[in-house]
C-alpha cells in the first residue's frame, strides 16, 4: 500500500453559526477519515470580523491544527498582541516587515511528517501589500517540497479569481495544495494542476448560506439600493454549511493524488470525499 497523507482545509469560519457547525461536524470527520492535518481560515470567526484568543483556542480544541487569516486579521485589536503567543495562527506573509505574527510555519503531524503552511494575500481589490508571488517564492526556496517539507499548503486570500489562478500556476509542482479564500462562495474548479498541485479558486465559507456572504441580507440589499448604511452588518445565524476541501498527497513527492470538495450541513448540496470512503 502506497504511503499517503490526508489533509482537510476548511473555508472562512464566519461567526457563531460557522463555529458551531465546525464544532459539530469536525469530530465525526476526523473519526471517520483520520486526516493527518486540519487547517481552517479563521479571520471572520468573531462576529464576522477578526478572531479573539478565546475563539482561536476553541478552534484548536476542536481539532484544527493551523488557523490562517487575511485582511480581517486585525479587526479584533487584541490580535496584535496574542498572535505573538500562537505560532499556529498565521497572518498574510506579505504584510510589511515588523508586522506582528508570522505568515509561514513548518508544523509536524502526529506521524512525524512536516507540513509547511503559507498564508499569503492578493493585491487586486485588496489592501496594498508586498508582492505575494515573490514573498511565497522565498519560502518555497527555503523549504522545498519533498526535500524539507513532506507537504506544502498555501492559503491565498484574495478577491480576484485571475490573481488566484495565476498564483496557482506560479507554484504548480512546488506545493501540495493551494486554496483560495476570502469570497465565501465555493467555486466548481477544484482540480489537480499539470504539475501535481491541488487547487480551487475559493473553498467557500463555514457559515450560513441563507445570507450575503455570511451576513444578514437586509443590510447588504439596502446598501446596494441606496448607498447608505442603515446599520451594522450582522452575522447570519441559521444552520451553517461546513465548506472546504479534502486532499490526499503522495508521501514520496508531496504532490496531490486526489482532491474533493467537502460540504456538510446547511443549504448546500452535501459532498464528502469518496476516495476516503472504505
Structural domain harbouring 242 = 4-276
pLDDT at 28: 93
**CATH code for the domain of 23:** 3.60.21.10
Tell me: the pLDDT tens digits for 17-72? 999 999 999 999 999 999 999 999 999 999 999 999 999 999 999 999 999 999 99
pLDDT at 1: 40
Q: Which residue blocks in the chain are alpha helix, DSSP H?
A: 15-33, 53-61, 79-82, 132-142, 161-171, 217-226
Of 44, 91, 50, which is closest to residue 207 (Cα–Cα)? 44
pLDDT at 243: 98
Tell me: the pLDDT tens digits for 240-259? 999 999 999 999 999 999 99
The tally of domains found in the chain comes to: 1
Q: What is the chain's mean pLDDT, rounded?
A: 96
| pLDDT over 90, % of the chain | 96
Residue 238 pLDDT exceeds 80: yes
Beta-strand ranges (E) seen in the chain are 4-10, 12-13, 37-41, 66-68, 104-108, 114-121, 151-157, 177-181, 191-192, 198-200, 205-206, 242-250, 256-264
Confidence band (pLDDT; 50, 70, 90) for 278? Answer: low
Catalytic sites, residue numbers:
72
Tell me: the pLDDT tens digits for 115-174? 999 999 999 999 999 999 999 999 999 999 999 999 999 999 999 999 999 999 999 999
pLDDT at 275: 82
Chain centroid, CA 168 distance in Å: 15
Residue with cell 498564508: 119
For the full predicted model, state whether its pTM sits above 0.75. yes
Helix (DSSP H) and strand (DSSP E) numbers for the chain: 6, 13
Give yes or no for a contact between 246 and 6, defined as CB atoms under 8 angstroms apart. Answer: yes
Q: Strand, helix or coil at 136? A: helix
Amino acid at each position: 500500500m502506497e504511503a499517503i497523507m490526508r489533509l482537510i482545509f476548511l473555508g472562512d469560519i464566519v461567526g457563531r453559526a460557522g463555529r458551531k457547525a465546525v464544532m459539530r461536524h469536525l469530530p465525526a470527520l476526523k473519526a471517520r477519515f483520520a486526516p493527518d492535518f486540519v487547517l481552517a481560515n479563521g479571520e471572520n470567526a468573531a462576529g464576522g470580523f477578526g478572531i479573539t484568543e478565546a475563539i482561536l483556542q476553541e478552534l484548536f480544541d476542536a481539532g484544527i491544527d493551523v488557523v490562517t487569516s487575511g485582511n480581517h486579521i486585525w479587526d479584533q485589536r487584541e490580535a496584535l498582541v496574542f498572535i505573538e503567543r500562537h505560532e499556529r495562527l498565521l497572518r498574510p506573509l506579505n504584510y510589511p516587515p515588523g508586522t506582528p505574527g508570522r505568515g509561514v510555519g513548518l508544523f509536524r503531524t502526529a506521524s512525524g511528517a512536516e507540513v509547511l503552511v503559507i498564508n499569503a494575500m492578493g493585491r487586486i481589490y485588496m489592501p496594498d501589500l508586498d508582492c505575494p508571488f515573490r514573498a511565497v517564492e522565498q519560502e518555497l526556496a527555503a523549504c522545498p517540497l519533498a526535500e524539507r517539507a513532506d507537504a506544502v499548503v498555501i492559503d491565498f486570500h484574495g478577491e480576484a479569481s485571475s490573481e488566484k489562478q495565476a498564483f496557482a500556476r506560479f507554484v504548480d509542482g512546488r506545493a501540495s495544495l493551494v486554496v483560495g479564500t476570502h469570497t465565501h462562495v465555493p467555486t466548481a474548479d477544484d482540480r489537480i494542476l499539470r504539475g501535481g498541485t491541488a487547487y480551487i479558486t475559493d473553498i467557500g465559507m463555514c457559515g450560513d448560506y441563507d445570507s450575503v456572504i455570511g451576513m444578514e441580507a437586509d443590510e447588504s440589499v439596502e446598501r446596494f439600493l441606496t448607498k447608505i448604511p442603515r446599520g451594522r452588518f450582522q452575522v447570519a445565524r441559521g444552520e451553517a454549511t461546513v465548506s472546504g476541501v479534502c486532499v490526499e498527497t503522495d508521501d514520496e513527492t508531496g504532490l496531490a493524488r486526489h482532491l474533493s470538495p467537502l460540504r456538510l450541513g446547511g443549504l448546500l448540496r452535501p459532498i464528502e470525499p469518496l476516495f476516503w470512503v472504505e
